[in-house]
Structure 1
Amino acid sequence: MNTQNGNNPDANAPGLGILGQYVKDLSFENPNAPQSLMAQPEQSPAVDVQINVNAKPMSETDYEVELKVEVKAEDKRAKRMLFLLDVTYAGVFRITNVPKESVQPLVLIECPRLLFPFVRRIAADAISEGGFPPIML
């Protein structure tokens, strides 16, 4: 029973909720298959990973946050691309009762951190299904 003049003490507690999450864009290019899958490179491929975060407000409390991951693998010796993965994974987050100065760190740090395990699994699965050993981000 609440004895604080009818006020719910949790009503003003800070909140971060995920309203939904989804693959927004997914592309896997394997331009030299099947030759690239049969030839064993003499050295490990050069792998370049780029990760970017984009966020936009949808309302006063809701934000769409995108985590864009690009993975490019090249056989430097043969001078050919092995694969290119481009995935954008997004989530819609509701942030309530958080001071304005704390919203940006939540949106640009905490929200992508919550999305990252999902995009990591999608990337590993796509690379594996493309015929290559999965890369664990």
Structure 2
Amino acid sequence: MSDTNNSDATTAPGTASLGIAQQYVKDLSFESPSSPKVFMSQMKQPDVDANFNVSANEINDDLHEVVLSIEINAKVDDEPVFVAELAYAGICQVKGATQDVTRQALMIEVPRQLFPFARAVIADAIRDGGFPPLLLNPLDFNKLYQDHIKESVVRGNIAE
């Protein structure tokens, strides 16, 4: 038996590694365009529309910024109740991976790790705006990525 512990993924040849070095709020906006009127009446449950987007920008060969954008629109009878927008980012390092694996890590795994923190920021912003916190359901970033790929193929932006 060997006493050597070789658990460091960066030491194994051909092994890719992913690390998130920093997470931060890049942009945060909250608006309550119907206030104070919205707080003066018995408000019905608002219709909530949530939109998500993921983008990745290369900083250098191994370092990338991944931005998870979330936009929440809440309305009652087509009257806006609140709008919350968040761009939550992470600086991550991907080493030893092919371009395809790197792209999948940046568009699936990194947003999956950023999401719980972004969800908390959105919930706090909405709560601080005077409304019950909105807890977003977990997202399947793999499905979102695959849907994006299919949509890009249909539009002719990329080859399968």
Question: What TM-score does the superposition give when structure 1 sets the normalisation length?
Answer: 0.87
Higher strand share: 1
Distance 1:47 1:9, change over 3 A: closer
> Tell me, which stretches of 5 or more residues in structure 1 are unaligned?
3-7
Give the counterpart letter for 2:17 in structure 1: G
- Answer 1 or 2: higher relative contact order, Cα 8 Å, separation at least 6: 1
Runs of 4+ in 1 over 3 A off after TM superposition: none
Indicate if the aligned counterparts of 2:9 and 2:17 stay in contact, CA closer than 8 A.
no
Corresponding residue of 2:59: 58
Corresponding residue of 1:35: 37
- Following superposition, the deviation at residue 99 of structure 1 comes to 2.4
SS in 2 for 1:136: coil
Measured against aligned partners, the alpha-carbon deviations of 1:92-113 in whole angstroms (never above 9, x if no partner) come to: 1000112222111101000111
* Alpha-carbon distance in 1 for matches of 2:9, 2:109: 25
Higher helix share: 2
Corresponding residue of 1:121: 120
SS in 1 for 2:103: helix
The count of residues paired between Structure 1 and Structure 2 equals 129
Corresponding residue of 1:104: 103
How big is the alpha-carbon RMSD for the aligned residues of Structure 1 and Structure 2? Answer: 1.7
Corresponding residue of 2:75: 74
Question: What TM-score does the superposition give when structure 2 sets the normalisation length?
Answer: 0.75
